[in-house]
Amino acid sequence: MTGRHPMVVVGAGLAGARAVETLREEGFDGPVVLVGEESRRPYERPPLSKSFLQGSTPAEEAFVHPEAWYDASEVELLTGTRAVDLRVDDRELVLESGRRLRYERLLLATGSAARPLAVPGADLPGVHLLRTLDDAEHLRAALVSAPAVVVIGAGWIGSEVAASARSLGCDVTLVGRDAVPLQKVLGAEVGAIFRDLHRDHGVRLVMNSEVESLHGTGRVEEVRLRDGRVLPCDLVVVGVGAAPRLELAQAAGLTVNGGIATDERLHASGNWVFAAGDVAAAWHPIFKSRLRVEHWANAGHQGRVAAENMLGKAVVHDRVPYFFSDQFDLGMEYSGHAPTWDEVVFRGDTKRREFIAFWLSDGRVVAGMNANTWDVVEDIQALVRSARVVDRARLSDPDVALDNLDRLAA
């Protein structure tokens, strides 16, 4: 397929990189343009809060493609470039430079931005957000001379940064609104396992707490909580979530409902516009709802699916959501989608942190997490896809193979 105008991808993250890669792999020989606001070529984000922050992985390993790949693949990579207007009726994208790009098909993969902390003092020097490679480089350098670190937010980024900083020898305090880390995603039972993990490695946890303000003379020196407690510090990391970059889509009049609404083929409401990655609220055939997933695996897969459908195919995005995390000596993988659940069933040894947790709704497995237990992701995802009512006793019994759906069924 070769059109008069280029295939244009807005957002040079993992989803955008996989999309332009797929266009070429599928044989598209027309012009391809990849537009990114950052000055870097596309890279993967998971190492930023883990191995890169700890100094065990160089930045070069995070990049999706070698620098020469874009010229060799005839992909016009526009880094440090912001798209300011999308005119869907005219099939035209306007860049901040004034350049106008008429497109054959367009993919919005604009990703997310780290949420700032909305309290007085959040703009003091020594207060860090972590979203970009630049952020990670600055934070890694700062941790070397910051013995006392306060991490605000006990979600995935906050928990991973706390683990990395503690592994570097920093004195770390983790502040969270809920009773345990990761409670909103994993619930109290599994969150308690991560609470104990951090405590066992010397992280000080201050839970059920909210930050009132940050203070310091010239740079941040203390975090004040609403209950009056004061946490002295040399450095603060804010990890209170991320917000999808929807400005361009909203201004263009696309349907936005927590994300850019798409069908199961990632086609948005605009004229030949697709969306992928953090910004896409895509209809999911298994879960019968629109899901917006902010994880590495989702971005990579949706970038590929969107590109195939930009070429006129009819590929359905129906992958079971997946993500992973490494904190101290606990590695985990999570598969599924559990906004609500009735109970959590465990298989294995939670005290040794070698187990699988299953989230059940109406007797069906809607999500599973394997912790320090490997080569079971496909089995867990098959359980989620099957939507079969399971026998709880057999589900928790390690002698019943996970790939035997008939035996697991109630």
- C-alpha neighbours within 13 Å on the C-beta side of residue 174: 32
* C-beta separation of 323 from 297 below 8 A: yes
Q: Specify burial of residue 257 (Cβ count, 10 A radius: 0-12, 13-18, 19+).
A: exposed
Q: How would residue 3 be classed by pLDDT, with cut points 50, 70 and 90?
A: low
Sheet holding 289-291, edge to edge: 260-262, 280-284, 289-291
Whose tokens are 């004229």? That residue is: 271
d(C-alpha 324, C-alpha 70), whole Å: 29
d(C-alpha 366, C-alpha 333), whole Å: 14
pLDDT at 241: 94
Across residues 85-112, what is the average pLDDT? 97
Q: How would residue 281 be classed by pLDDT, with cut points 50, 70 and 90?
A: very high
Strands (E), 221-264: 222-225, 230-232, 235-238, 242-244, 260-262
Residue 1: pLDDT above 70?
no
Distances (CA, A) of 369 to 289, 346, 377: 22, 10, 8
Across residues 346-374, what is the average pLDDT? 98
Domains and CATH numbers, the chain: 7-113+242-310 (3.50.50.60), 116-238 (3.50.50.60), 329-408 (3.30.390.30)
Pairing of strands 92-95, 100-102: antiparallel
Across residues 345-358, what is the average pLDDT? 98
* C-beta separation of 83 from 35 below 8 A: yes
Q: CB within 8 A of 367, min separation 6: which ones? A: 334, 335, 336, 337, 338, 341, 358, 359, 384
Q: Specify burial of residue 16 (Cβ count, 10 A radius: 0-12, 13-18, 19+).
A: buried
Backbone CA torsion sign across 275, 276, 280, 284: positive
Q: CB within 8 A of 308, min separation 6: which ones? A: 22, 26, 315
Per the prediction, the chain carries an average pLDDT of 97
Q: Buried b / exposed e across 263-294, counting CB within 10 Å, b at 16+?
A: ebbbbbbbeebbbbbbbbbbbbebbeebbbbb
Strands (E), 130-198: 148-152, 171-175
Question: Percent of the chain beyond pLDDT 90?
Answer: 99
Question: pLDDT tens for residues 117-170?
Answer: 999 999 999 999 999 999 999 999 999 999 999 999 999 999 999 999 999 999
Q: Which two tokens stand for residue 223?
A: 């975090």
d(C-alpha 245, C-alpha 99), whole Å: 21
* C-beta separation of 172 from 166 below 8 A: yes
* C-beta separation of 9 from 56 below 8 A: no
3-state secondary structure of 335: strand
pLDDT at 271: 85
Give the number of other Cβ atoms within 10 Å of residue 39's Cβ. Answer: 11
- Nearest C-alpha neighbor of 215 from the set 123, 302, 339, 93: 123
CA 365 to chain centre: 23
Residue 348 forms beta bridges with which residues?
A: 355
Residue 331 forms beta bridges with which residues?
A: 326
Question: pLDDT tens for residues 212-270?
Answer: 999 999 999 999 999 999 999 999 999 999 999 999 999 999 999 999 999 999 999 98
Q: How would residue 206 be classed by pLDDT, with cut points 50, 70 and 90?
A: very high
